A and B are shown apart, each in its own frame.
Chain A
Amino acid sequence: MKTTFNRLVLSLTSVNRQHIQLAFIVLTLTMLVLGVGAPEDAGGNTLRK
């Protein structure tokens, strides 16, 4: 029982770590492309009058 529980915890920890790592990479790449890219749709309140 204890071994099963430990395996489950280990599995969840592994999955979470992978998901967090992936989310971190995607967030980094999103910031990168938003930072170097400059498409303009003039949406929202970003227009200065």
Chain B
Amino acid sequence: MILLVAVAGGLCIGIGVARWRGLPYQPPALQYLWLVFVAFLPQFVILYLPNVRQQIPDLWAAALLTASQILLLAFAWLNRKLPGMKILLLGAALNFTVMAANGGFMPISPQTASRLVPQEILQEIPPGERFGTKDILLHPEDTRFEWLADRFLPPVWSPYQVAFSLGDVFIALGVFWLLARQNHSGSFL
């Protein structure tokens, strides 16, 4: 959700600035688009289709998720000259590092997870089990690169609770910049 907000926000700012300057909006000139479709397909199947998700062993899911992220990192690297892509690439690399070091999934502590689901549901999930879409429930002391895990939360009073990582922050900033910045000379973005 927060990443989709970054995409929508960057697009709105980019189009708004272009119109304000009386120029057509220029989307980023991405190359190798097919790579993203190829890379994202396995993630879509194993993470977002409930029937498939329940049938695929966690080991396979972790392997496919890792392979998918390697391809997406390659795409970001191939497009690294675009403004904002290096920030996105940094975030993707941070997430990849912590996930690869923790069995292919993003670690989240029980304490952080308790802000997302009721305690009675959380008690039924033992440490080491998958949690949510890409996460795995791990105690901080059992987590490698804990500072890169899903450990950040919005304020308690926020109606939308989400756990996110440092890598997610860079990814959101990168995609926002990528869509908001226009290549017209003299543009302030």
Contacts and interface: CB of A to CB of B under 8 A. Distances in A.
Main SS of the interface on chain B?
A: helix
Contacts of A18: 24
Contact-size category for B: 35 or more
A23 to B, nearest CB: 10
B92 A31 contact: no
A38 to B, nearest CB: 4
B39 A39 contact: no
B40 A49 contact: no
A41 B162 contact: yes
B134 A42 contact: no
B56 to A, nearest CB: 12
B125 A49 contact: yes
A48 B129 CA distance: 8
A12 interface: no
Nearest to A22: B27
Contacts of B16: none
A33 interface: yes
B4 A30 contact: yes
Contacts, number: 136
Nearest to A39: B164
A38 B106 CA distance: 7
A25 interface: yes
B40 A31 contact: yes
A33 B175 contact: yes
Given A35-B69, A37-B167, A47 B132 contact: yes
Given A39-B164, A48-B130, A29 B175 contact: yes
Indicate the member of A28, A33, A36 with the most B CB atoms within 10 Å: A36
Indicate the member of A25, A35, A42, A47 with the most B CB atoms within 10 Å: A35
Contacts of B160: 41
B7 A30 contact: yes
B163 A40 contact: yes
Q: Top 5 nearest A-B pairs by Cβ distance?
A: A36-B92, A38-B106, A39-B164, A42-B116, A31-B40
Interface of A: 18, 21-22, 24-26, 28-42, 45-49
